[in-house]
Amino acid sequence: METVTKKSFINRDIMKSSILGAFKKLNPLYMIKNPVMFVVEVGFVFVVLLTIFPNMMGDVTEESARLYNAIVAFILFITILFANFAESIAEGRGKAQVQSLKKTKTVTEACVLLADGTQVKKQADELKKGDIVLVQAGEVIPNDGEVIDGIATVDESAITGESAPVVKERGGDFSSVTGGTTVTSDWLEIEITSLPGESFLDKMIALIEGASRKKTPNEIALNTLLVSLTIIFLLVVVTLYPMTTYLQVHIPIATLVALIVCLIPTTIGGLLSAIGIAGMDRVTQFNVIAMSGKAVESCGDVDTLILDKTGTITYGNRFASEFLPIQGVGKKELIRAAWLSSLTDDTPEGKSILALASQLDVDSTDEKKIIDTSEHIAFSAYTRMSGLDMKDGTKIRKGAYDSIKNKSVNAGYEVPKDLESLVHQVSSLGGTPLVVMKNEKILGVIYLKDIVKPGLKERFEKLRSMGIKTIMCTGDNPLTAATIAKESGVDSFIAESKPEDKIKVIKDEQSQGKIVAMTGDGTNDAPALAQANVGLAMNSGTNAAKEAANMVDLDSNPTKIIEVVEIGKQLLMTRGALTTFSIANDVAKYFAIIPAMLMVAVPEMSALNIMQLNSPTSAIISALIFNAVIIPLLIPIAMRGVKYEPMSASKLLRRNLLVYGLGGIIAPFIGIKLIDLMSGPILNLMGL
């Protein structure tokens, strides 16, 4: 996974807001959303009442019993606070970004263009869908919209963090603008496409704050499991009380509450929400806004990844790769002619030809003189060639095979016999042949290649090891598509693809029960983005694409879908690992509390007191303290996630059982014993 600038895990502001948040979340109406911790809160209230009225359940009335109840109540209270604190930290890590975004939501005055051509000043919050506004250099774009006239650069750093302005113009995939960004040059006429309070910026703020976060399907399923386990243990403990009473074994009510709290899955119950929020936060650190937690979670289940070729797998611009002279022409002569033809060519292709020629030691001593004294012939769709007319009458051209061939033949030159084979050689490799001509005499071919981004082959291999299939979609011909597919290492490709082809392949994969992810930025990508389980739209793309997708990449980097998939996998791994640890914890705590409860009345139970704890009271208090302390100790893992490594489901299960299952069993034995060694003498002094 690519490195990102890591935010501080916790700072003073996050700590302060998290502590306040932990207390605010004590509200029973909020706590009931987390049934496991709600049971702990009910137990806490019950034990507090027992502390105040120790004989209300017919329990003993000695002062020591009141003190014991108070200690249990305090530990339960701390347990609830720690669980709330974990969730508050997860929420707090998004506060800084939210504040930054809110700063852009200043009251903006907009210049509205009316149908009769007059201009009216309005506040941004008064704008309606369909209003046309004029925004000039230095002014803030008042709300989301589409450029309908003009061309300008826009500073989107308030949202993306990137300082380089982005060119926005009418039509194409760079016509959408976001409210709160600033026009840095020229002017734009913008049609407003969102209502006040419903802009992309508003949605981002709500999502990062967690106001719009809903539990995901997997989270709901796990919650159901936790609730089921809680109910089972409640029933067990409730039936245990009359049974022990019948056997004339006295067990304090506070001890039974402690037993419930230690046996129900409080660890994962306290961390579950934090894990989900942290997953969205990790995506946000990559400058990707997830429209829901379900989108992030779906990334972890992705089976098929659909990627565009241009801009995703390849750079999108063709670069000069090789000079291929015809027979009888020296390579240096061809390189010099290609260099001359590109001296005033500002296209990426022209610059790459100059760069390659320089690497091959072209004679460039007279560059400035040639530029100053020659006439630049720009490329046109009519001639399909460009070049240079020099002062001495020499004419250099480079262009499409047919155009150069026809011009040479019309001038009375014979087409070189090996020219067609060179052109075919380049085309068969998926490249673009540019033919070079000097005074109507053909010299050779420039091999332009759409370069595959470095490292993609290894990354696709990594995805393959995760069980994810990659499919490349391109409008290129099958020959070019096959070449790029082989070089990049994708599993399959669709050549000459149209928007409906993308939808078809998504539906075909989904019909087999697979989860599909894809990227896109244009209006024609919107249907496919909506159909995919995970649709990642580029922020530079159209509003239609962003509305259809469930994720938006603020950096407009199509390859980021790979990182997003890995974050989704990491989220599921983290949740699975901590659930395994939590349940294993409960098993270990059983051996601390059950023997402690019963071994005074049933001496045979002392055989199960394998930890040799100081006393029954010390055992229960130590187990409760460990149960509370383990939650904040696991917060860093919940926030940062379990380290991601591609592996099969069976291997992942074995690792979780070995590391977190075995660790979850061992940790309580060590932790409870250490706490017992420290708390035992203190409890003895207190007469407990």
**Binding site listing:** 345, 349, 379-386, 398, 521, 525
From the candidates 308, 450, 553, 676, give the one annotated as an active-site residue.
Answer: 308
Structure tokens at 406: 């026809």
* Share in percent of the chain as helix, strand, coil (round to 5): 55, 15, 30
CA 85 to chain centre: 24
Q: Which residues pair with 396 in a beta bridge?
A: 388, 438
CB 543 within 8 A of CB 275: no
Binding residue ranges for ATP? 345, 349, 379-386, 398
CA 20 to chain centre: 28
Annotation marks residue 308 as catalytic: yes
For residue 377, report the phi and psi dihedrals to the nearest 5 degrees. -105, 105
- Concatenate the DSSP letters of all residues of 192-261 into one string: E-S-TT-SHHHHHHHHHHTTT----HHHHHHHHHHHHHHHHHHHHHHHHHHHHHHTT----HHHHHHHHH
In angstroms, the Cα distances linking 527 to 156, 198, 292, 530, 545 are 26, 22, 19, 5, 8
CB 422 within 8 A of CB 444: yes
Binding residue ranges for Mg(2+)? 521, 525
Specify the amino acid at residue 102: K
The set of residues, in sequence order, having a beta carbon less than 8 Å from that of 340 and lying 6+ positions away, is: 370, 387, 388, 390, 396
- Which is nearest to 156 in space by CA: 287, 6, 291, 280? 287
Instruction: Locate the DSSP E strands across 454-577.
Output: 469-473, 492-494, 516-520, 534-538, 551-553
SS3 1: coil
The DSSP symbol for 125 reads G
The set of residues, in sequence order, having a beta carbon less than 8 Å from that of 332 and lying 6+ positions away, is: 362
Residues with a catalytic annotation lie at 308
